[in-house]
Structure 1
């Protein structure tokens, strides 16, 4: 409002048109070197061009321009991930018409405007298989060991809504994996639709092995210290009674004073105080209320430490013999740099036969992978069906819980801009899976997961109920939301 109580006059359409034209020119100019860098790894294509344009435009603060466009009832540019230049061109054409002059940019056709959506849908079909008719988002289930010996259990999951079965190669063995895969194929035949199999190779997961704790069962709490040791039996001293052997011995000597150590999905965080002779002393800074038990086979995350590890281990190389014969796609843990994709391609080339190529899912678990996501996408593009898993468990332990929500949103946007299918993973409906009763917050989280092309549920006693619940929820959300865009079906509650 002005001082006189009057609404200020709308700026001229010509001024706003010129500002949007200037923005388009700036985006194309800024995107050119980014696209050149991305193309070092692959061949040209509209999805990579759009990714470069999206990266360029998101380096600017568009909020003032958005409000100016919204005032005219035009696109606020808030839903342009899959169509950066077409969105700008549509706005330019509309503003030119409002200004009463010919448009300097032709308005995009319907096919051109929605081409990114079509390419993303085709990429998701190629990776996961076609979705069911009543929802766009697939449901992936992590199979428990029971699935190897109980084919009826797998049939039940398929009947309730499972589209993709995940086999974690960190557990069980080749015979069990083959049995699980066979049961998934037969279940697909029984329910009359193709079910696909993702097999996760374990990668260099850092875990506790043997542990030593006080005989009184005391837990670790803030202010306590514990030792991480490279090898030998765990040992304690009077002032430090907690000790754990690390699954990858070389990691201990890569730690430095000040490095953070997160244990068991971030239930505890400590800081390295000293490192010597294959031992690291860690002081607990944070721990969940009531303390944390030091146990074997629990994950360790080292967000400040240069691990220097190959994402493919000797075990993974051996497991690939089974994976290429059983899976439709391979989950790649701890991928961080574009060169890591070349390592996987080389390993697969030693085992794949014929024209059949496995799909490939890059699991984004470390800060380096987040930072390098555009480069990872470019390197993987065109070689085989490709997708990204937003692995929120390890990612939260690496970057901190406070940033996970922000990062998962940004990764969804980058994937959409590049027409790459995304998997929303870790702790989806976890209370429901474990107890049969969901929390209110996790139902909201699961509803927001409908923006991904696939949602992963973990194993648990009530996973069948969780599949049914998620199937219904995703179908309802499909009527309300596509990615970031609300879809305004008629409301019937009022």
Structure 2
């Protein structure tokens, strides 16, 4: 009875490590209420197999477990390096090439997956790579090349993410891959569909329409991870069934110092409109390697609840 009355739920991401026999059942026994399928990784067949395993384990245990399909969204990434990675030093020039089929990167520059980036940035902008571990300052735009200078030392490897400090990138919320993955998630009959990098209610409404075309009516989760989403928070919340405080990319775009206050703001807005709210990213991260959380992580969980 106590578990039935528990309003705070636990969401866990599945992956190769949870494919071992008995692992999903153990997660459910430990208290997991919803499992997340990350469509940034894996194949439709792998997601289908995991969904089947979750439902089988839930039947065995006599409980209900939700399934959330999380779309990749238009994540901007650098392309690959000739040697897989490069070491960058503060003060050195580094070019971003926004053209099709760029040559493998090196310490002088690398390609970018989003060719429209040249139109979204300008001199003085700060670009953050690999969740902010490497920072670049834009100095000039020359055709399809963005000339930058490295702000801090760091190692950069293949396919790392790229953000602009303060947001403002014009890339839409749903990519061609996302549209295809909505069909795959519909085939799974997932309970929830998470929309990554949404900027407005229109992004949510488009996803809902695409799901309906596939004969599917999931609960839609708006992932708040763009600076623009904060400006449109009320309309996004009202258009959604739930919101997620996606602290990774959001923190990169707005700066970590702003994140605690914005997390509280997003949670208050969701509760004000009677929406489910999920707090995500680095929750109990140290327990990947340690059996108990840090005290800071305990406080983080308590603060989120």
Q: How does the TM-score come out when normalised to structure 2?
A: 0.92
- 2:163 is equivalent to residue 310 of structure 1: no
Q: Kindly indicate whether the alpha-carbon contact (under 8 Å) linking 2:166 and 2:254 is maintained by their aligned counterparts in 1.
A: no
Q: Kindly indicate whether the alpha-carbon contact (under 8 Å) linking 2:204 and 2:220 is maintained by their aligned counterparts in 1.
A: no
The aligned counterpart of 1:415 is 270
- 2:9 is equivalent to residue 138 of structure 1: yes
Q: Kindly indicate whether the alpha-carbon contact (under 8 Å) linking 2:283 and 2:297 is maintained by their aligned counterparts in 1.
A: yes
Choose from 53, 77, 87 the match for 1:219: 87
Choose from 351, 370, 378 the match for 2:214: 351
The aligned counterpart of 2:66 is 196
Structure 2 counterpart SS, 1:293: strand
- 2:123 is equivalent to residue 257 of structure 1: yes
Deviation at 1:253, TM superposition (A): 4.0
The aligned counterpart of 1:321 is 183
The aligned counterpart of 2:30 is 160
Deviation at 1:320, TM superposition (A): 1.5
The aligned counterpart of 1:208 is 78
Matches within 5 A, 1:470-481: none
Deviation at 1:359, TM superposition (A): 0.6
Residues 1:368 and 1:179: Cα distance change in structure 2 (over 3 Å)? same
Structure 1 ranges of 4+ moved more than 4 A: none
Q: Kindly indicate whether the alpha-carbon contact (under 8 Å) linking 1:303 and 1:366 is maintained by their aligned counterparts in 2.
A: no
Deviation at 1:151, TM superposition (A): 4.3
In the aligned structure 2, how far is the partner of 1:193 from the partner of 1:226? 53
Residues 1:267 and 1:131: Cα distance change in structure 2 (over 3 Å)? farther
Q: How does the TM-score come out when normalised to structure 1?
A: 0.58
Structure 2 counterpart SS, 1:138: coil
Deviation at 1:131, TM superposition (A): 9.1
Structure 2 counterpart SS, 1:181: helix
Per-residue CA distance 1:447-493 (angstroms, 9 max, x = gap): 222x2xxxxxxxxxxxxxxxxxxxxxxxxxxxxxxxxxxxxxxxxxx
- 2:237 is equivalent to residue 377 of structure 1: yes
Structure 1 counterpart SS, 2:300: helix
Deviation at 1:198, TM superposition (A): 0.4
Q: Kindly indicate whether the alpha-carbon contact (under 8 Å) linking 1:262 and 1:270 is maintained by their aligned counterparts in 2.
A: yes
Deviation at 1:212, TM superposition (A): 5.1
In the aligned structure 2, how far is the partner of 1:235 from the partner of 1:343? 36
Instruction: Tell me which protein shows more strand as a share of its residues.
Output: 2
Which segment is superposed worse, 190-199 or 204-213?
A: 204-213
Per-residue CA distance 1:371-410 (angstroms, 9 max, x = gap): 1011112334xxxxx1000000110000001100010011
Deviation at 1:223, TM superposition (A): 2.2
Segments of 5+ residues of structure 2 without an aligned counterpart are none
Deviation at 1:304, TM superposition (A): 4.3
Aligned residue pairs total 302
Per-residue CA distance 1:189-236 (angstroms, 9 max, x = gap): 1222100000111111111221257x9x86324323322112311355
In the aligned structure 2, how far is the partner of 1:131 from the partner of 1:246? 51
The aligned counterpart of 2:259 is 404
- 2:266 is equivalent to residue 393 of structure 1: no
Structure with the greater alpha carbon radius of gyration: 1
RMSD: 2.2
Q: Kindly indicate whether the alpha-carbon contact (under 8 Å) linking 2:163 and 2:252 is maintained by their aligned counterparts in 1.
A: yes
In the aligned structure 1, how far is the partner of 2:238 from the partner of 2:136? 36
The aligned counterpart of 2:195 is 332
Deviation at 1:358, TM superposition (A): 0.4
Matches within 5 A, 1:437-448: 437-448=292-303
The aligned counterpart of 1:230 is 98
Q: Kindly indicate whether the alpha-carbon contact (under 8 Å) linking 1:228 and 1:246 is maintained by their aligned counterparts in 2.
A: yes
Q: Kindly indicate whether the alpha-carbon contact (under 8 Å) linking 1:361 and 1:389 is maintained by their aligned counterparts in 2.
A: yes
Structure 2 counterpart SS, 1:411: helix
